[in-house]
Chains A and B, each alone.
Chain A
């Protein structure tokens, strides 16, 4: 079997399959469940300064296996209450990455500093949620702000900082380059794509927030393109995200330039067993293609074309 453990952003991961932020991350017990199911690490829900209920339902529109549209609205218990959930996950031995969202560099830095005290091994900055006013992609689409936020956070915390990049921008690779200039240890790409569902009988948008973010297999080629372009622009590691449903999908992201990946929507389609299955598929596929280690595949498609 191929070796699946990887190092990414200075973090040792037992395998490259991370639980994506927003999936299963509201309770500590759920983070433990994802860890026990075989995730290489778990990323918390994005945590803000204050408790936030999120948008009213409907917050989800699911399409058969090819995609999922959501506008949850960043629900989270707030940074004061959330550490008890992280403690549960850490108590079970999980590798935990803390995700935070703020409205400006100072808020990001404060949240990251509080998150760092919980014992997480890295901080992921949500610069890319496509459906929250004043947060996420609204500020993460501007390379100047991305650089400023990442710099403020890297100065505030002693941990690796991962900037999650939005695809809802003209030049996602430019945003990754800005994060690298700011001192990010890695970037993750992509978050969901801005999208809309309409109910024709009711003549109205389905989601209460109207606009949402599309995830799932439909966005994999877009995620791959972003990872590919980011790889050409930056030297820091990339965590690939978007539509991963199989070991082959993971390998595509690795070959495009990723060192690790995040998996989310597939958990809704398949259950948390997706982690074990995808890990086994990845290991077998790597071996059959002559890779001794997952890390050997990172960027493989670039060397073939250079």
Chain B
């Protein structure tokens, strides 16, 4: 069953990402996702970018199709929400390195807030294509995280993919956990860097989702179903899967390269 909610706030975070806030009471944890029904269009899995209290939020990047339509949603629009589904980031480690590529910051920001509230020291490696696309740079700084940015074009911070700052951070600081979310090829690199340093590492992955109830198999990832056993996995588990960073399934269930 879905709850029909009304969008109360719309924030253009970057040229390509928009946050929508709406009242939705069920308790949620950082890392969990909801199914968002845009009546007449589609229903998409969206990780919650705001998990605390009665006002939840999603932050959507325009990828095309429905996600572009979601961007055009104005306050007052009604959406159908079900969930939250899936597991969460464990916020108990005391020194956490967060690696966010592009819109991956939307998934990681609420976990960073909860971890800092619990006394953790959080460092964020935040990467985007350009300075304007750096998502939640202010939010991470305001919550008290140390933020290092990278951009593909060098318009802010180190030039290159976010992984260029991850290796030096891991070499010079002690961490109890690494959390990552972003392009899967980046996540795979981060997982390998964390493994090389012996740091526990967790990543939030994305797959097709239809039922979100562990039944339809659209989100099958190796022996797992992302909707129930994910979206957050130990990257040691992910690295065992040939498809991690390599392929996903399309809506028909065909294997397609990432």
B222 is an interface residue with CB less than 8 A from chain A = yes
Per the bound structure, the CA–CA distance linking A206 and B215 in Å amounts to 19
A271 cross-chain contacts in B, Cβ below 8 A: 214, 228
Contact of A59 among B4, B44, B211, B255 (CB under 8 A): B211
Contact of B252 among A25, A53, A58, A267 (CB under 8 A): A53
Bitwise, B198-235 to A at CB < 8 A (1) or not (0) is 00000000000011111111101011010010000000
Choose the segment among B11-19, B35-43, B95-103, B130-138 that binds chain A (4+ C-beta atoms closer than 8 Å): B35-43
B249 is an interface residue with CB less than 8 A from chain A = yes
**Is there an interface contact between A267 and B215, defined as CB atoms closer than 8 Å?**
yes
Quick one: given A62-B1, A75-B218, are A53 and B250 in contact (CB under 8 Å)? yes
A124 is an interface residue with CB less than 8 A from chain B = no
Write the chain A residue with the least CB distance to B213: A268
A206 cross-chain contacts in B, Cβ below 8 A: 2, 80
Per the bound structure, the CA–CA distance linking A51 and B250 in Å amounts to 10
B257 is an interface residue with CB less than 8 A from chain A = no
Contact of A268 among B39, B211, B254 (CB under 8 A): B211
Bitwise, A32-73 to B at CB < 8 A (1) or not (0) is 110000000000010000011110111111111000101010
Per the bound structure, the CA–CA distance linking A77 and B255 in Å amounts to 9
B251 is an interface residue with CB less than 8 A from chain A = yes
Write the chain A residue with the least CB distance to B40: A204
User: Please, how many residues of chain A have a CB less than 8 angstroms from a CB on the other chain?
Assistant: 44
B121 is an interface residue with CB less than 8 A from chain A = no
User: Please, how many residues of chain B have a CB less than 8 angstroms from a CB on the other chain?
Assistant: 34
Per the bound structure, the CA–CA distance linking A57 and B216 in Å amounts to 12
**Is there an interface contact between B4 and A76, defined as CB atoms closer than 8 Å?**
no
Contact of B78 among A29, A60, A201 (CB under 8 A): A201
A30 is an interface residue with CB less than 8 A from chain B = yes
Per the bound structure, the CA–CA distance linking A55 and B40 in Å amounts to 13
B220 cross-chain contacts in A, Cβ below 8 A: 24, 26-27, 29-30
B26 is an interface residue with CB less than 8 A from chain A = no
**Is there an interface contact between B253 and A60, defined as CB atoms closer than 8 Å?**
no
Contact of A26 among B2, B41, B228, B253 (CB under 8 A): B253
A202 cross-chain contacts in B, Cβ below 8 A: 4, 39, 78, 80
Residues of A within 8 A of B (CB): 22-27, 29-30, 32-33, 45, 51-54, 56-64, 68, 70, 72, 75-78, 81-82, 199, 201-202, 204, 206, 208, 264-265, 267-268, 271
Ranked nearest first, the 7 interchain pairs of A and B with the lowest CB-CB distance are: A57-B43, A53-B251, A26-B217, A268-B215, A27-B220, A26-B253, A51-B252
24 A-B residue pairings within 8 Å (CB atoms)? A23-B216, A24-B220, A27-B220, A27-B253, A45-B253, A58-B35, A58-B43, A60-B210, A62-B1, A63-B1, A64-B1, A68-B215, A70-B216, A75-B218, A75-B252, A78-B254, A199-B2, A199-B4, A202-B4, A202-B39, A204-B40, A268-B211, A268-B213, A271-B228
